[in-house]
Structure 1
């Protein structure tokens, strides 16, 4: 079992490079990645990862350096990311929905030395976006505003001036002996940082949760065991690789079990249906909205979905009807829900196979092995079963801290190791956790976590706004969307349409407010804190102010 000391993946493999090498040896001829016309066996994937690691070493990446990947789900993301980690670097996945300013913040904050970036994705040139965001500065590299970024590799056959095409980058590693790559990988320790996953705190500044190799291996061996992921499964990875759900519950879990990774860059229902049928997909994790759209699509019956056997969902309330429809209409044998956050390596609780549908739909399951959960009131006292309070978590998978942020780490983790999740939940008598609210005001837009404080900070850059406050409101299609309450500067004629259009240019689409209410002033308490309860209660703006 996954909880037994003898079978722990962190003890068996030690590090992620150890896992990649073992998977190549154990599952050699088995298909590892099916990305359109690109088909790689586990042995071929291992070779490509080592080649990418050699190129990283040739480019000057040293152990502990941060290497970022800003690209959609493709085989090149997998190879570049695992190659960087094999070279001893700490991976920094960058959200593909970010605009240039947002990506530049993450790169600057981590002092990333090397960046792998896609060319054009969803009609946007990421290179041009980043160049615009980092053109001012005195740095010696290709982007003056990012002085620590020495090289930018475009995951394409060509690249603009000052940037390096993927093929040319890989060629630089040909002079690096395989033994050098192996030595570099073997020097890593299980407690070395493997990645920095960015989330957001209450200040609005993104924070990077530092997770180690051992934490990742142990947590996703447990995830794979509880989910029932098997050798030979064919896993459609729609969850983005920049998120723990896509990278670790996807790529790492497949490496652990010998499953085939089928990356899908963008969630499109027709593409997902076609992939499930053509690739005989058996595993499809994702947010509830993903599965709901598949069930409701008019062309569903034209596709053979009979290979599907495992669905893992979470990130939002899961309707009981959705669980029943997946089981009854698609004949999915296993439907599970789970709960986690970046600071806990992406996992805290999970339902178990055999749980009744009402438990799967109404809770996020029980604590995974090796994890403790407490629900406490404002005074820190444990609440009675069924009573809500803040969810605290303690276990091997809790982050070592926020990257170079001891103050933020101290606020998040108590001296005795309890992670303050900021989520309100309740435990039932059987230990199943039900998340009921979010202390941090986070809301979920189509499966993406949106943080009001971060959106407020971005909106604060608009020259015509004096004050803003953002809340989540219900949306039939996306679950929740943002609504902004804004105070115009004197003399401004800014309209709701103007602000939404500006937001679409300046921030990731899921962060863009869908409604705007202009108000004379924001409600505040005696200490000056904005009263978002008043805003959620429907505080009206002036007539005609809502778009």
Structure 2
């Protein structure tokens, strides 16, 4: 098996040169051979900007053809890709760019009424030397076309030599994830470990060159990036990136483009099932999907099979710290197993549920989920203390999730030690949201929990203690949050309280807030 992205992609190009690799939302197509040529042109342009092996390059843009080309080019020069969530505001994106030390940023221009370079504005760190606008640029922006022109002076052989010099243990990406500290941490993973995980995921889904893979999952997430466009290209699929979720548009693309693979969070399938156009849409091409990231009713699995027509419906469990995958169900598992468990560990990975003494617990007894194997991250960027806290001396990654293993080795997630909740498929970390809300001049204390929501799975609810002499209402606070944080992080409900319940050490007892909700 090839152990670097450039080598693996080159092998795929050799097998599928004249097949269609990507179809954009505008209908433009690229064969594998043409995608390869554009990948090398973009690599030459990065070299012209001074990017070298080991540097970091960020992408802050919606799903699209240029995102894929830029991602492949970053890998090909031996740089590490730093995906940035498109829902982030300027301050959030600026923190990641500064922390990662990214020298180049590929970003959207005008997207959904926002000009991303302007949004970054004053939050742009001095370490960011170049900003390339992929689409919808304004005057003064460095456009994608102008960026590519800079590579003309770099010989093609130089780009190929850079790609050949990439090694299995080179850093492939730095993906940021938040946690109990309230500040996002950069997760470092290598080429070889990611490619092995991608191969196992692709095998479980049965991904092949005959598939037409519609990718709605955002490319800034491992679901849309690693087991999304990268998995699809390595399998020889035809990729169809989709930038903004709209159930009607997705149904039209399924019928028009004969989509066979469409993963997504449960909210995606609920929206498709509930759309009135679904009943009159030809969905016969659909073959395989994988979902997860939230509790799923067995009836939803049955509906995905019966009403959407998927032959293979899987669920799984993973973290950014595990290259995105730990467990997967099998294609022949029953609906109960698929809905109520997250499957069993992928080959080569050890999985346990352990007690407070770090000893493995027997089947049926809940404990913290720990993982050991090739999929575990190399560590957190510039944070050895956090790395030691996450990965113990024996190499076990402590996930902070609580689960139960059955006699078959299938995992059921039962709780989360780290308080995170999942809104529409996105991880929400209360500590991060609380830190941002605490900057409001009227707020003395704030605690955030996740509460059930019929459509999004979970949404945030904030309990706020005001400073003496200050007044504030829920709509004003929610509007303030929307200006400063990604939409999925914004609490949907706000309750003002005189005090927060705390234990003798002063820690907020969130279980009491949950029981009161």
Shorter-chain TM-score bucket reads over 0.9
Distance in 1 between the 2:254 and 2:148 partners?
32
| Normalised TM-score (structure 2) | 0.98
Q: Secondary structure at the match of 1:299?
A: helix
2:121 counterpart (131, 144, 156): 131
Alignment pair present for 1:175 and 2:164? no
2:54 counterpart (64, 67, 74): 64
Distance in 1 between the 2:115 and 2:136 partners?
15
**Matched residue, 2:464:** 486
Q: Secondary structure at the match of 1:270?
A: helix
Distance in 1 between the 2:137 and 2:405 partners?
54
Alignment pair present for 1:117 and 2:107? yes
Report the CA distance between 1:411 and its aligned residue.
0.4
Distance in 2 between the 1:84 and 1:384 partners?
45
Structure 1 contact 157–167 (Cα < 8 Å) conserved: no
Report the CA distance between 1:329 and its aligned residue.
2.0
Alignment pair present for 1:252 and 2:230? yes
Structure 2 unaligned residues grouped into runs of 5+ = none
Structure 2 contact 109–136 (Cα < 8 Å) conserved: no
**Matched residue, 1:422:** 400
Distance in 2 between the 1:37 and 1:276 partners?
14
**Matched residue, 2:314:** 336
Structure 1 unaligned residues grouped into runs of 5+ = 1-11, 135-142, 540-547
Alignment pair present for 1:151 and 2:130? yes
Structure 1 contact 157–166 (Cα < 8 Å) conserved: no
Alignment pair present for 1:283 and 2:261? yes
1:89 counterpart (73, 76, 79): 79
RMSD: 1.1
Question: How big is each residue's C-alpha offset from its partner over 1:381-414, in whole Å with a ceiling of 9 and x where there is no partner?
Answer: 2222111110000010100001111001000001
Structure 2 contact 188–379 (Cα < 8 Å) conserved: yes
Q: Secondary structure at the match of 2:276?
A: coil
Alignment pair present for 1:370 and 2:320? no
**Matched residue, 2:18:** 29
Query: What is the correspondence of 1:461-476 to structure 2 with a 5 Å cutoff?
Result: 461-476=439-454
Report the CA distance between 1:336 and its aligned residue.
0.5
Structure 2 contact 213–237 (Cα < 8 Å) conserved: yes
Report the CA distance between 1:160 and its aligned residue.
4.3
**Matched residue, 1:407:** 385
Distance in 2 between the 1:305 and 1:176 partners?
47
Report the CA distance between 1:331 and its aligned residue.
2.4
Distance in 2 between the 1:535 and 1:468 partners?
12
Distance in 1 between the 2:137 and 2:94 partners?
22
Report the CA distance between 1:175 and its aligned residue.
1.3
Report the CA distance between 1:378 and its aligned residue.
1.8
Report the CA distance between 1:295 and its aligned residue.
1.2
**Matched residue, 1:138:** none
Structure 1 contact 19–255 (Cα < 8 Å) conserved: no
Query: What is the correspondence of 1:318-337 to structure 2 with a 5 Å cutoff?
Result: 318-337=296-315
Report the CA distance between 1:157 and its aligned residue.
6.2
Of 376-385 and 504-513, more deviation after overlay is shown by 376-385
Question: How big is each residue's C-alpha offset from its partner over 1:111-141, in whole Å with a ceiling of 9 and x where there is no partner?
Answer: 1100000011121111111014x2xxxxxxx
**Matched residue, 1:18:** 7
Report the CA distance between 1:522 and its aligned residue.
1.4
**Matched residue, 1:5:** none
**Matched residue, 1:545:** none
**Matched residue, 2:39:** 49
2:373 counterpart (391, 395, 420): 395
Distance in 2 between the 1:91 and 1:353 partners?
32
Distance in 1 between the 2:139 and 2:403 partners?
50
Distance in 2 between the 1:528 and 1:401 partners?
31
Question: How big is each residue's C-alpha offset from its partner over 1:161-199, in whole Å with a ceiling of 9 and x where there is no partner?
Answer: 3x4111000000011111100111111110100001111
Distance in 2 between the 1:368 and 1:489 partners?
50
Report the CA distance between 1:159 and its aligned residue.
3.7
Distance in 1 between the 2:464 and 2:310 partners?
46
Distance in 2 between the 1:160 and 1:88 partners?
31
Distance in 2 between the 1:59 and 1:343 partners?
31
**Matched residue, 1:239:** 217
Q: Secondary structure at the match of 2:282?
A: coil
Distance in 2 between the 1:274 and 1:433 partners?
36
**Matched residue, 1:523:** 501
Distance in 1 between the 2:358 and 2:78 partners?
40
Query: What is the correspondence of 1:71-86 to structure 2 with a 5 Å cutoff?
Result: 71-86=61-76
**Matched residue, 1:106:** 96
Question: How big is each residue's C-alpha offset from its partner over 1:231-274, in whole Å with a ceiling of 9 and x where there is no partner?
Answer: 12001100000000000111111122101110010111011101
Distance in 1 between the 2:29 and 2:440 partners?
47
Q: Structure 1: which 4+ aligned runs deviate by more than 6 Å?
A: none
Alignment pair present for 1:500 and 2:490? no
Alignment pair present for 1:194 and 2:172? yes
